[in-house]
């Protein structure tokens, strides 16, 4: 394990609080596919680790690395290499939101529809099992949500912050971010989150809310070799 859980958050989560959602082969772990496509590789993976990941995924399987540098072997298809940042709660004034409601498995079809329209990042039918998700409804329709993704010892990630295009500019994402942060703090953990390095507007907003840059992060999407 790295010296700090957030150096390799997916590894820390799958060896810790989210071990019940893990599958492994050798030194490589992944979430069960219906939960998430994120995988955990050692910080300096070798050829054997990539082979173990290929075995775990199966031919043509797609993996998303969890914020650590990774260079797939030449026989893998590199689908995306995204520069990102990791931010941690420094002086966040977390607070519950009176309009936010806890989402349940019954809400998953609407959650998937909102994700498809707003594209906040990877989201699968069982992603809701990773932690608590909160939503805001108007006239019965789910228009905004945010929730918990990676849960490492002492740390919980805020993720899937998204708002329907017709309701942007009302601060719903900010309110839900603070509400999710409040639930994380109440559970005894510290909130953190990731953002694309190119999304400077979101980064400025998170910094204004009291998040501080911890490190740069790299997200790689790669497809395992086919036979």
pLDDT per 10-residue tile (average), the chain, 227 residues: 85 98 98 97 95 97 92 96 96 97 98 97 96 98 98 98 97 98 98 96 96 96 94
**How many other β-carbons are positioned within 10 Å of the β-carbon of residue 191?**
24
**Cα dihedral: 24, 134, 190, 19 (round 10):** -20
Entry pTM: 0.95
Partners of 63 in beta bridges: 222
Q: 122: exposed, middle or buried (C-beta count within 10 Å: 0-12, 13-18, 19+)? A: middle
Q: Cα(143)–Cα(82) distance, rounded to whole angstroms?
A: 27
Domains of the chain listed by start with CATH number: 5-85+218-223 (3.40.630.30), 87-215 (3.40.630.30)
Element (H, E) at 23: strand 22-25
* Radius of gyration for the chain, computed over Cα atoms and rounded to the nearest angstrom: 17
**Backbone phi and psi for residue 54, each to the nearest 5 degrees, phi listed first:** -60, -40
One-character DSSP codes across 4-15:
SGGGSHHHHHHT
- The predicted pLDDT at position 67 comes to 86
């Amino acid at each position: 394990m790295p010296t700090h859980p957030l150096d390799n958050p997916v590894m820390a989560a799958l060896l810790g609080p989210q071990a019940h959602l893990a599958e492994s082969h050798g030194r490589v772990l992944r979430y069960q596919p219906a939960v998430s496509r994120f995988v955990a590789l050692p910080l300096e993976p070798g050829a054997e680790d990539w082979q173990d990941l290929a075995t775990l995924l199966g031919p043509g399987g797609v993996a998303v690395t969890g914020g650590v540098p990774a260079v797939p072997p030449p026989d893998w298809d590199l689908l995306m290499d995204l520069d990102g940042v990791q931010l941690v709660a420094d002086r966040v004034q977390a607070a519950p939101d009176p309009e936010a409601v806890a989402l349940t498995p019954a809400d998953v079809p609407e959650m998937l529809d909102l994700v498809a329209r707003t594209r906040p990042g990877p989201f699968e039918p069982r992603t809701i099992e990773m932690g608590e998700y909160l939503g805001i409804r108007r006239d019965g329709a789910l228009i905004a949500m945010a929730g918990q993704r990676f849960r490492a010892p002492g740390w919980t990630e805020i993720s899937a912050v998204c708002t329907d295009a017709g309701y942007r500019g009302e601060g719903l994402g900010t309110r839900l971010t603070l509400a999710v942060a409040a639930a994380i703090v109440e559970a005894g953990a510290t909130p953190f989150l990731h953002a694309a390095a190119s999304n400077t507007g979101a980064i400025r907003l998170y910094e204004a809310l009291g998040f501080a840059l911890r490190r740069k992060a790299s997200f790689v999407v790669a497809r395992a070799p086919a036979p």
